[in-house]
Structure 1
Amino acid sequence: MNLDPQGLFRDHSDSDDEFELEKEKDPSKEMVVYLIDASPKMFDLVGNDEDKSQTYFHAAISSISQSLKTQIIGKSSDEVAICFFNTKEKKNLQDLNGVFVFNVNDREFLDQPTAKLIKEFSCIEALRNLAGTFMSNIGSQYGIIPGSRENSLYSALWVAQALLRKGSPKYVSKRILVFTNEDNPFGNITGAAKTDMIRTTVQRAYDAQEMGISIEILPLSIPNEPFNVSHFYADLIGLEGDEVAQFLPSAVERLEDMTDQLTKRIFKKRIVRTISFSIAEGINIEVNTYALIRPALPGSVTWLDSVTNLSLKAERSFICADTGALVHEPPKRFHPYKNENVKFSVDELSEIKRISNGHLCLLGFKPLDLLKDYHNLKPSTFIFPTDEDCGRLHFVFEGFFSVSRI
């Protein structure tokens, strides 16, 4: 079981080769295209309470809006595009019907999230009870209907793929997020036309994935109307076997925790140090320590030379009280014992004060109620195993420790 799917507590190495490998695993920049279904079914109410209910369409708008607000603070270098499909109006460089690109104006690439974009996009969310503004400017319609060769989902994937063609997938993470509550977009057509549309749409998705673009489906559904991914979208994103049954719970969780997941990307955990954790005699495990919470302290004062403006370096010298000469020998400490001064060198004194070699050793367990607030001397530190393949050992050894008087 992978307890760290986001890679928050992964190892960091100073080696150049491993650093390049790390960049490949975790690109520093992300490019995202949000594909929002604007079909009439998306404007149905989610719940029965008219005062508290909202449409599926505005639930998707709200999730994206919250994500953009977090993203502009945490990773403003990322680039995004917002596209509606199944629309009456069209606005895209490919001049395809049924696709309206919200924030790209006469440009080939995506834009960085800005306050202006969030404000304009949030206006759609604020008008969930006055959807006439969206209907009059962009419009809603079913883009896949019997007797027509129009396939708005295929066109939307084509437009998104064209927007994401900039940047190497080695250093840029490219994603297409599809928001829809229609699990069977080709359900109204039959025969050879349906087979051909499904084949071409799935092939378009495979072409995007070969270019390093991942496609994710975020279904919008309620408990009494489950989203059946096996109708079509399982083939689109390549789900097989048990992945089909596990898809819906994980997708709903990703949608609900969309803002939290982006918040995790902001605060990347850095290793303070790596130490050895002795569980029992002959059983040791290396753990990384993380300082999750630390008080914000003002910076130290730096003294500068008034002429050169360079920082000053403090030096200390010892002078003999009898002769006034500089003492070059390292100072020694002493402790009176039975009318005699027992001398200690600095190294000997440090060794006397050393209780252990700095590693952790498990001595036993005590009830939590024995730990009092005044026992704590320093902020707690989170420990996590360095080996990601420890499996269920993670359940035993991950946790917090702090320096205390117990």
Structure 2
Amino acid sequence: MDYQHDIITQERDALLIIINPMRPNNNADDGPTVHHTLVTTAASVITSLLQDRLIANESDQIAIGLWGSRKVANDDGEAIVWPVPLGRVGPAALQFAEQLARDAPTILARYNLAQPTDLLPSSLLWSISSAFATLPAPSTLTAAAGVTVSYTKRVFLFTTLATPGLQLAPPDVTRNDRVVALAVDRAKDAAAAGVSLDLFVGHDGPFDLAPMYGHILRAFAREDDLIRQADGDLAVAEALVSRFIAEHVHEATEEHDLFAQVRRRSFAKRSQAAVAWRISDGVEIAVRLYSLVQETKKGAYVWLDGRTNRALRRETTLLDEATGAAVPATRVGSALEYGNNLVPFSPDELTKLKSGGTAVGLDLLGFKDRALLRDWHNVKHASFVRPDELAAPGSTVTFVALLQTLHRRDKFALVRVTPRASSAPRLA
């Protein structure tokens, strides 16, 4: 199993927060109306979310959109505006969310409401894909250092309208089927690009997923892949799809309920490492390691020029002790003192010194009775291990079989963990 351990991946979150301010209305003659309670509640929750992000990870990308609004009246374009385009978490996004929570009618009055039949989910999904296409590429310095940046692309949609884009009064079955089919195709494209969708439903009577969102969420669940994973067992695949939909649809009656659900979904799961678990000679599975506890660190301060107030860039230059001349990096080496001599080491040799020469991954050492475990054996925060089916098909089946056997026999597996090439091995 081949893993590129010399490449460091920085995982960041790209989050599109979309509010559909339109209230469900069964009488088309009354025209569109705004659901101010939903907008105010969603904006308050978004404000708290952005405040957390400014402290926890300001490098994440955030956008705020209003679906069902247009900049110009009678515009035939997409019925969505982006008051806060996709960019790093900053004061502009927080200021807009605070203003929307404080005075939603004034903010929404800047735009024109579209008709419910104009809210085509396919157009929304196309706009979402276009927004994610603007994510910044890694900088030249980052790429040269062997660091890649990956984004978790997620969408939070706040709505109470269960039938966007559908003609219901009178019903137009042919048109509605075409609208749903196009939305499903766009959802499949978005899911293939790594986009996930979470639906946050405000309480305004029963919310029926069947007309539209049930089809869209099935596409995001990659139903065809689940059927293949279930070896063609449709009952098992249907259970997996139902569980996926239940995990991505969140209904709330109060603001604190909605806040709790958004907070639970707001921080993406970021793996510490993707490695191989070597069980025996010729038998290994792919797993990912996740941290159960994450420290919230303060953001780094920026050095400024005292005269111009411009940001400064720090550079390190090595100087020759004898001449004071700058020494290029290509002529710089590493050495360790042994006795009165300096022993040179190459970068690869220094890396092997840190890891003890062990291969990156998990190596099974044996099994022990669970009764032998003591609390003081735990010297660091535990890591959550999960099989990586995409990296190596069949890993999930092997992992679950081993876990069930350990539970049945009341044993635990003792492994040696080397998460990265530059990490020291430890027991777990």
Shorter chain as denominator, the TM-score bin is 0.5 to 0.7
* Correspondent of 1:159 among 124, 127, 138: 127
- Alignment partner of 2:267: what SS? helix
Say if 2:267 is the partner of 1:269.
no
Checking the alignment, whether the CA contact within 8 Å between 2:84 and 2:93 is kept in structure 1 is yes
Return the TM-score normalized by structure 2. 0.51
What displacement does 1:30 show? 5.5
The one-letter code matched in structure 2 to 1:379 is K
The one-letter code matched in structure 1 to 2:263 is T
- Match of residue 329 from structure 1: none
Distance 2:242 2:285 in 1: 36
Checking the alignment, whether the CA contact within 8 Å between 1:30 and 1:174 is kept in structure 2 is yes
- Alignment partner of 2:18: what SS? strand
Checking the alignment, whether the CA contact within 8 Å between 1:178 and 1:217 is kept in structure 2 is yes
Distance 1:385 1:243 in 2: 17
- Match of residue 246 from structure 2: 249
- Match of residue 199 from structure 1: 178
Checking the alignment, whether the CA contact within 8 Å between 1:271 and 1:290 is kept in structure 2 is no
Distance 2:241 2:83 in 1: 32
- Match of residue 369 from structure 2: 364
What displacement does 1:85 show? 1.9
Describe how 1:290-329 pairs up with structure 2 within 5 A.
313-316=336-339
Q: Is 72-81 or 181-190 further displaced after alignment? A: 72-81
Checking the alignment, whether the CA contact within 8 Å between 2:167 and 2:176 is kept in structure 1 is no
- Alignment partner of 2:116: what SS? coil
- Match of residue 351 from structure 2: none
Distance 1:284 1:155 in 2: 44
Pair member with larger Rg: 1
Checking the alignment, whether the CA contact within 8 Å between 1:29 and 1:78 is kept in structure 2 is yes
Distance 1:207 1:59 in 2: 29
- Match of residue 99 from structure 1: 80
- Match of residue 107 from structure 2: 134
The one-letter code matched in structure 2 to 1:39 is M
Distance 2:124 2:289 in 1: 45
Unaligned 5+ runs, structure 1: 1-10, 46-54, 105-109, 278-282, 296-303, 319-357
What displacement does 1:38 show? 0.8
Question: Relative to structure 1, is the Cα distance of residues 363 and 187 closer, same or farther in structure 2, using a 3 angstrom cutoff?
Answer: same
What displacement does 1:69 show? 4.4
Distance 1:209 1:377 in 2: 43
1:113-168 Cα distance to aligned partner (Å, 9 max, x none) = 3232223223323x1xx4332343346x46226xxxx4465554443344344579
What displacement does 1:220 show? 0.7
Checking the alignment, whether the CA contact within 8 Å between 1:382 and 1:400 is kept in structure 2 is no
Describe how 1:341-380 pairs up with structure 2 within 5 A.
360-366=365-371, 371=374, 375=376, 378-379=379-380
Checking the alignment, whether the CA contact within 8 Å between 2:199 and 2:249 is kept in structure 1 is yes
- Match of residue 347 from structure 1: none
Percent identity at matched positions?
A: 16
Say if 2:182 is the partner of 1:189.
no
Question: Relative to structure 1, is the Cα distance of residues 317 and 383 closer, same or farther in structure 2, using a 3 angstrom cutoff?
Answer: farther
Question: Relative to structure 1, is the Cα distance of residues 377 and 61 closer, same or farther in structure 2, using a 3 angstrom cutoff?
Answer: closer
Distance 2:5 2:368 in 1: 35
Say if 2:203 is the partner of 1:180.
no
Distance 1:252 1:74 in 2: 25
- Match of residue 3 from structure 2: 13
Distance 1:294 1:189 in 2: 51
1:343-370 Cα distance to aligned partner (Å, 9 max, x none) = xxxxxxxxxxxxxxx96544434398xx
Say if 2:388 is the partner of 1:394.
no
Checking the alignment, whether the CA contact within 8 Å between 1:218 and 1:251 is kept in structure 2 is yes
- Match of residue 209 from structure 2: 229
- Alignment partner of 2:16: what SS? strand
The one-letter code matched in structure 1 to 2:128 is A
Say if 2:126 is the partner of 1:143.
no
Question: Relative to structure 1, is the Cα distance of residues 171 and 263 closer, same or farther in structure 2, using a 3 angstrom cutoff?
Answer: closer
- Match of residue 321 from structure 1: none
What displacement does 1:217 show? 4.8
1:251-300 Cα distance to aligned partner (Å, 9 max, x none) = 2469755434443545x4248996869xxxxx9999998886799xxxxx
What displacement does 1:64 show? 3.9
Distance 2:82 2:292 in 1: 40
Distance 1:205 1:100 in 2: 22
Distance 2:46 2:56 in 1: 15
- Alignment partner of 2:88: what SS? coil
Describe how 1:41-52 pairs up with structure 2 within 5 A.
41=24
Unaligned 5+ runs, structure 2: 25-32, 138-148, 224-237, 252-257, 296-318, 342-362, 388-394, 416-428
Q: Is 248-257 or 111-120 further displaced after alignment? A: 248-257
Q: Is 255-264 or 182-191 further displaced after alignment? A: 255-264
Q: Which structure: greater strand fraction?
A: 2
Question: Relative to structure 1, is the Cα distance of residues 243 and 315 closer, same or farther in structure 2, using a 3 angstrom cutoff?
Answer: closer
